[in-house]
Amino acid sequence: MNGQLDLSGKLIIKAQLGEDIRRIPIHNEDITYDELVLMMQRVFRGKLLSNDEVTIKYKDEDGDLITIFDSSDLSFAIQCSRILKLTLFVNGQPRPLESSQVKYLRRELIELRNKVNRLLDSLEPPGEPGPSTNIPENGKP
């Protein structure tokens, strides 16, 4: 043996979640879709939660991303290639948001809201009530 692993006949899954790519050798090709999702939750532990909506897509021979919806889609994908290149989308996004990103986005949105409110306030003539005070709550004058 020349020091290389014998992977002939074995299925290799290359799974990508955001910038993180994992290579997983598969010994049992009769894997179901549900088993694949569970495997992805284990492989990307901490980045994939059990209540996340996960969409799995594979790259076909043309480089297109094809959605794997069930076990028959998965079987077809396995038949197409010995190296199955998967891309995971979490809650419709190509990568999960880290908590620091969520905090940053929240801060940015609050700043935007405050800026919009300041701009709206600057449009009000001084000393006159704003248009919102002239309209009764039921919407009728």
Q: What is the pLDDT of residue 2?
A: 46
Q: What is the pLDDT of residue 1?
A: 43
What rounded mean pLDDT belongs to the chain?
80
Which top CATH class is 11-90?
Answer: alpha beta
The reported pTM is: 0.58
96 residue type, one letter = P
- Using DSSP, state whether 64 is helix, strand or coil: coil
Q: What is the pLDDT of residue 138?
A: 53
Percent of the chain with pLDDT over 70: 75
Average pLDDT over residues 86-110: 75
Average pLDDT over residues 45-66: 86
Beta strand extents in 18-71 (DSSP E only): 20-26, 54-59, 65-68
User: What DSSP character marks residue 98?
Assistant: P
The domain ranges of the chain are 11-90, 96-123
Q: What is the pLDDT of residue 28?
A: 78
- The C-alpha atoms of residue 121 and residue 126 are separated, in whole angstroms, by 10
pLDDT-based confidence at 15, cuts 50/70/90? very high
pLDDT-based confidence at 32, cuts 50/70/90? very high
Residue with the two structure tokens 């709206």: 120
